[in-house]
Amino acid sequence: MQIILGPFHPHLENSLIEELAKYKNRDLLCPLLILVPSDALRRRLKILLTRERNLSFVNLQLLTFHQLSSKLFAETNGIHSPAWRGDLFLEEVLRRIIRSKEPGTEAFGGIEKREGGCAALWQSLRDLRDGMVQPDPALEALGEGHFDARTRERTANLLILLQTLLRFCEDHDIKDHFDLDKFAMARVPLSSFLSRFAQIFYYGFYDLTQIQLDLFHAVAQNHPTTLFFPLVHNQPGHEGWGFAQLFYQRYVQGRGGSDTTRNLIDEPDRSNDLPLTFRIFDQDPQRQYPSLAINWRCRMFNTFGIHDEISAVAKEILRLTDNDITFDQIGVVARSLDAYGATIKEVFAQHKIPITGAIEEPLVQFPLTKAAILLLNLPAKDYLRSHVIDLLSSPYFQLNALGSESTDLRPDLWDLATRELAICKGLKQWQRLERYTATDMKLSQVSHDDEPRVITIPAEQLRAVANILTALTGDLSHLPGKASWSRYAISWKEIFKNYLGIAPEPAADPNAADTLVRNQITDILDQIAGLDAVEPNVSLGEFSRTFQHWLERGTLVAANKNSRGVAVSNATAARGLGFRALFIVGMNEGVFPRTIREDAFLRDRDREVLERDLGYKVSQKLAAFDEEKLLFTLLVNAAREQLYCSFQRSDESGRVLAPSWYLAELKRALKGADMTEDTIARSITDKAHSKPFNCEELLLPEELAIRLSLAGKDAKFLIEAANLAPNLFKQGLKTIEHIDLSTDRLDVFDGMIESPAEYWRRFSQRGLSPTGLELYARCPFQYFARQVLGLQRLETPENTMGPSLAEFGELGHLILKLTYQELIQRGYFTGNASMITVDAVLTTAAQEAFAGYEANSPIGYPLMWETLRETLTQLVKDVVHRDLQELAESGYVPVHCEIDIADHLPADWPAPLNDLAIRGRMDRIDRDPVRNRMRIVDYKFKFGGKPSAIDKDLSRAALRGQRLQPPFYCVLGKAKRQREEPRGVEAQVEASFYFIAPHWSEGPLVNKSFSAGELSGQIGEEIKKTVAQLAQGIQSGRFFIQRGNHCSYCDVAEICRKNHPPSLWRAENDPITRPHRRLRERDPKKL
């Protein structure tokens, strides 16, 4: 075997060309084979031979190591090969044998339940397997004391587990790529395929696993072989090449003989030709390096966040192409593309930069995969409402293929309907849809005081979703509770085909993302079916969890290898590649070099024993520090003209990040060379002074438009030419101009709209609502958002843990209503009290109320619901008993429950209230016929520890607009009394708040009253003025912001500009808002 040592560029590449030419000059048809470790390097050699050197060699084959093993296997087995299992499959095998408690797995019991437990354990076992470790000799060495005593037990357990796994795989005929390489190694001496080559060239590897190493040695021993090994081999050793040097010394050196080993950098014509870039990591101060070429440059820059980093790279690439460097002569490399791949694809697409190479993307990030996971988990999640709606709303769900009578299916209406019906999960709750399959559904109001808005959902829409659910649940219910993996795989293929269109069908564009995702999902189902060899039967839930785990671990590679685009790859795949310009991104500490840790199951000192004493090549994890140096050294020397290194000084969230120490080493090595350092500003305006953002022709149209706008220049023509939503831009500029004004006068953007004449007409005709006016008094903007615009939060029944405090109060109201209605009807207050058991009536009322709630609303945890029922029932019992006692003492008799009353305000009330319609809903009306009194009762459930200020004094609360129900109820009560007895003596009317407060010291029932007589005095006149002021504000369209304690629980906080300083300044300093703010300061005692 001949061995040729040297760096990739240009030494090994030139030497390879020379060796090929030597054979081809003698015989043009001389058969030659080149073997490389990766497909990226294979493509690089093709470009080198054809495009760069313009050579055309006949009978030359270029194969990767994997392709060689497949060729050798096919020599004897043809195209019929076994299913070579991957990591996910063997990880699942490991999980199954641990769960089934196979002999030898006892020490690892429970790890299969931990997130990532089996994945980490399999990586350790795979290292042993790739190292061809035989458990029996290793266990003997363990018994002889070769291993560290502190980890002896753990190492023994791991070796026994490996023994169990190997035996299990052999018994169940489970083979992976290790077995493929093992077969290929045995086939090498007899291979007719290898025998026909005059020379075999191994090119570009610097590390191999034990099985790959044995295969290489087998080829070298049986066939004429030349190895091109990337190494700067000199004395003293070069630290940057230490990783390759160690491998060479242990496994390569001496196998070719001193006469057949060439060190290219020692040859006379190539001596002293290593440029300055080779100084990196070289600790020998005596070694001299010539200067770099005059056109070689290095630039380092840092940015705020990953998006700015890649955007800067993209713009610099465009600048380079203007300087006659083509896209295919440029490379972008990250240590790992996990964090950078998606951003590179997005930003490069925006800049119209073509990409070549393979960027792995998580399969689970694609919408089709997410839809498949939703469908997969529907039975396990008991048809959770949000999951069902998300699935039906997916563009991949085959709505039209399900034969619905309606062609205009509206998942958005289904969402509203299911929220209205409070469907949480469970097929029983989904049956609520059947109530509306024949009649349209009208969505209910948030409260009785809201402006009426009717949203009708047609019956055909609800009939359609009910039919879809019936078909879907029918198909899913036919899945057996337990079956084989292959049976489930076939069933789910059929379901995915019917509902998501996932089927391996020919596509117009086989590289389209949707096509690749469909094929990948189908392939995973085919792979998972192979688990029949591991476990014949499995539950549906276990299949679903395993399938989802594989989908979440799966990746998608949309490789466009033959386009002449920018090469994007990770650092490992970029080994041996060369570029005129190279960008190394992500040069942050912990990224490049990556964070390296020892294996938790097999420590480095035990790995060293396996390699040093037993001859198994099991690489030490901490040796990766030296490999990181080698990778960076190779990358730096892969740039022929321009090298760019970038890092983030902070991430997108503002967290400070440290630059890699490799950059400091690079600056030391390149001292005296053409090197610049830049900090790219974060702000858009400051970027104008940073390369490459200072070149306007490199900016995207939207970036340039924003810059021009911020600089006060006209960007209208650019936005129109680029079609960047010009109408929206004009309106946005106008809006920003107004809301950022530093004036103390409110305008239309602050809620000072023109008088809402149509709204006021409907509002006044329907009648003033005290609750609505209280809302306006609290915050005019909140009133505008809720009442005028009709905005409200969407309910999420599936997230409900049971009744809210408001619903708790509503249940209490209903129980009280049903109780008093029954007592009134049965004559409890007219002499039949002795014949009626109040507790029995109340219990029946509570059961009816709870049953109704259970039928239409989510109850949360059953135990919590049962506790709430008991608590509320007991609370209402205490309240009713105390109330009945008060009624007996006061002489009042309940006559009405839950009654709506409407009337008009008297003509002597201030404008615009005079003769205006008012309305209210009274919880209860009591009469005292003896003393000619009427009392309007309003229940208020309170859960705090003490009463608030507005609850203590109803007169003051009414004066401030905080409690307007008492005065309104007094007016309505007097009007009702007048209608019932127009010629009778005027009754004494009062409004009473029954505070049901179990935690108050005076509770659980506290009565606060407001007499109608208070409206005739000075306080009454001021209360009328307060109400008139509020009504005038609504009529005039004054809906400004008013900050207060209510902001912490505001329903429309997301659209409020209370935290926008100019808006808040105007709201607090415009004189028009002063009277409204002063309402909070009014006090009856100061009148």
Local confidence band at 507 (pLDDT 50, 70, 90 cut-offs): low
* Cα dihedral 976, 981, 984, 985 in deg (nearest 10): -20
pLDDT at 722 (0 to 100) = 86
pLDDT, tens only, 158-173: 999 999 999 999 999 9
What CATH number is given for 2-82+181-274 in this structure? 3.40.50.300
Among 183, 192, 179, 227, smallest CA distance to 35 is for 227
pLDDT at 448 (0 to 100) = 47
Run of H or E including 675: strand 675-679
In DSSP notation, 1048-1067 reads: GG-TTGGG--TT-HHHHHHH
Which pTM was predicted?
A: 0.85
Superfamily (CATH H level) for 297-352+583-598+615-693: P-loop containing nucleotide triphosphate hydrolases (3.40.50.300)
pLDDT at 76 (0 to 100) = 87
pLDDT at 548 (0 to 100) = 94
pLDDT, tens only, 788-846: 888 888 888 877 777 888 889 999 999 999 999 999 999 999 888 888 999 999 999 99
In sequence order, what E strands does 509-654 have? Answer: 538-539, 555-557, 566-570, 579-585, 639-650
Local confidence band at 237 (pLDDT 50, 70, 90 cut-offs): confident
Report cis status (omega within 30 of 0) of the bond before 1004.
Answer: yes
pLDDT, tens only, 131-167: 999 999 999 998 888 888 888 899 999 999 999 999 9
Strands 893-904 and 355-356: unpaired
Across 175-198, average pLDDT: 92
Across 481-503, average pLDDT: 94
Across 908-914, average pLDDT: 88
More confident of the two residues 742 and 784:
784
* Cα dihedral 1062, 1065, 1071, 1076 in deg (nearest 10): 110
Cα distance between residue 285 and residue 279, in whole Å = 9
Answer whether residue 269 shows pLDDT above 80.
no
pLDDT at 258 (0 to 100) = 59
**Percentage of the chain modeled with pLDDT above 90:** 62
* Cα dihedral 1032, 1034, 1039, 1042 in deg (nearest 10): 70
484: exposed, middle or buried (Cβ count in 10 Å: 0-12, 13-18, 19+) = middle
Answer whether residue 344 shows pLDDT above 90.
yes
Among the residue ranges 279-288, 334-343, 930-939, the one predicted with the least confidence is 279-288
Please report, for the chain, the start and end positions of each structural domain, with discontinuous segments joined by +.
2-82+181-274, 84-172, 297-352+583-598+615-693, 380-478, 701-739, 795-890
Across 504-510, average pLDDT: 70
Run of H or E including 756: none
Local confidence band at 598 (pLDDT 50, 70, 90 cut-offs): very high
Answer whether residue 442 shows pLDDT above 90.
no
**Structure-token match 């939503």, residue found:** 725
pLDDT, tens only, 976-1023: 888 888 777 788 999 999 999 999 999 899 999 999 888 888 899 999
Across 384-402, average pLDDT: 89
Secondary structure in 3-state letters for 887-943: HHHHCCEEEEEEEEEEEECCCCCCCCCCCCEEEEEEEEEEEECCCCEEEEEEEEECC
pLDDT at 193 (0 to 100) = 93
pLDDT at 94 (0 to 100) = 93
Helix 838-856 vs helix 862-890: crossing angle, to nearest 10: 140
